[in-house]
């Protein structure tokens, strides 16, 4: 199962070559991650600002397959590829409106106490969301293109 976040590519996200700047994909992934965790009480902002539970990135792998341009509509699919006690691999597919997969990403995060900046056991509600979106083939490989 995967959560899907849909958005249009904005003017300021395109570089001089006329395609989305590669660094924007990390922002797109974060938007989808926020949607993934919208189901926790108070949503993602409450998780970060009040509960002080965060997901610092400790690894990021991206593979680009096709260009994305200003005005394109992008679907960002996010699922859990691997689930540990304190960490997880989130996997993303970035799909253009013509159903072309333009990129894939593996994003390794560590569940952390944001005040102590130390890893912590994964809260039950966070684990439940990740388990509900765990890929059937739950491995650490990049999502299928």
Residue-by-residue DSSP string for 82-121: EE-SSEEEEEEEEEETTS-EEEEEEEEEE-EETTTTEE-P
Domains and CATH numbers, the chain: 3-132 (3.10.129.10)
105 has a pLDDT exceeding 90 = yes
In this predicted model, what pLDDT tens digit does every residue of 42-80 receive, in sequence order? 999 999 999 999 999 999 999 999 999 999 999 999 999
> CA-based angle 130:28:117, to the nearest 5?
60
What is the spatial distance between Cα 64 and Cα 49, in angstroms, rounded to a whole number?
33
Is the pTM here over 0.85, yes or no? yes
For residue 62, give the H/E element and its range.
strand 57-64
């Amino acid at each position: 199962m995967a959560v899907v976040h849909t958005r249009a590519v904005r003017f300021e996200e395109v570089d001089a070559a006329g395609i989305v700047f590669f660094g924007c994909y990390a922002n797109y992934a974060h938007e989808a991650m926020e949607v993934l965790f919208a189901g926790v009480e108070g949503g993602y902002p409450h998780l970060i600002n009040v509960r002080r539970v965060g997901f610092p990135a400790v690894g990021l792998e991206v593979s680009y397959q096709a260009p994305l341009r200003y005005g394109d509509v992008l679907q960002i699919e996010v699922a859990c590829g691997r689930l540990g006690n304190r960490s997880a691999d989130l996997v993303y597919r970035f799909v253009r409106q013509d159903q072309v997969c333009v990129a894939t990403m593996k994003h390794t995060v560590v569940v952390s106490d944001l005040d102590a900046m130390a890893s912590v056991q994964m809260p039950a509600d966070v684990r439940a969301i990740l388990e509900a979106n765990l890929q059937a083939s739950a491995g650490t490989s990049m999502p299928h293109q």
